[in-house]
Amino acid sequence: MKYIDECKDNNTYPCYGDCVNTLGSYKCTCPRGFDGNASTTNGCEHIVGSKTSPAIYVIIALVVVLFAILFGVVICFNMKRRNLMMLREKFFEQNGGALFKQKINVQVYIVGRGAYGVVYKGVLSDKQVIAVKKSKLVDVTQGDRFINEVLILTQVIHRDVVRLLGFCLEEDVPVLVYEFISNNTLFHHIPHTAGGSSWLSWEHRLRIAV
């Protein structure tokens, strides 16, 4: 009797799944996760809720491990940066930084105070002297007032009006940069008491007012 390996003769003994040769016959079953008739084309159908291949679990485990490593690196980096900032603050306080800031705030660099902010005197890298107006903390509804002031100052160019050189909106409060006027403000040149004197004649006052 001649031995026949049915699993090798797919034409005579078709099998579209897992083929196992037996004595005088063979077994043809669907792969794991499938069910149906493996002897016909497309006879095996995927079983809903069937067990996932072990390779999928390996891939998922690798992804989880990679994310865990990445998360750990980010946490370590943030902790080191935070520790560095705390160390810098410690050295700043230790070396008198707080006292220095306090002294800076009360020095003569402040040239004026108003209802809407403080004006400082500064010097640019090209030795140009400027006046920096730092507004007080304002709510969002007062932002229109600041924008209107900027728009007006950028459009008005007159010898009797202080020229706006620039502004900054990237701080906690708006900042305006003007040309520095060394002869004080108009307020200082107009007498406010009876008998006071002023170099401004009525003609000059009317011209400035116009």
The pLDDT tens digits for 115-171 are 777 888 888 878 888 888 887 765 666 667 777 878 888 888 887 788 888 888 777
pLDDT tens digits for range 50-99 = 555 667 778 888 899 999 999 989 999 999 989 888 888 887 777 776 76
The residues with which 55 forms a beta bridge, in sequence order, are none
Please give the backbone phi and psi of residue 95, each rounded to the nearest 5 degrees, phi first: -95, 15
Q: Residue 205 in 3-state DSSP?
A: helix
List the structure tokens of 82.
């935070």
What does the pLDDT average to over 188-192? 72
* DSSP alpha helix (H) spans, the chain: 54-94, 97-105, 143-155, 202-209
How many contiguous H segments (helices) and E segments (strands) does the chain have?
Answer: 4, 9
Determine the Cα–Cα distance for residues 174 and 68; give it in Å rounded to an integer. Answer: 43
Across 154-179, b (16+ Cβ under 10 Å) vs e yields: eeeeeeeebebbebeeeeeebbbbbe
Q: Are 81 and 72 in contact (CB under 8 A)?
A: no
Contact 197, 191 (CB under 8 A): yes
pTM: 0.42
Is the pLDDT at 41 greater than 60? The verdict is yes
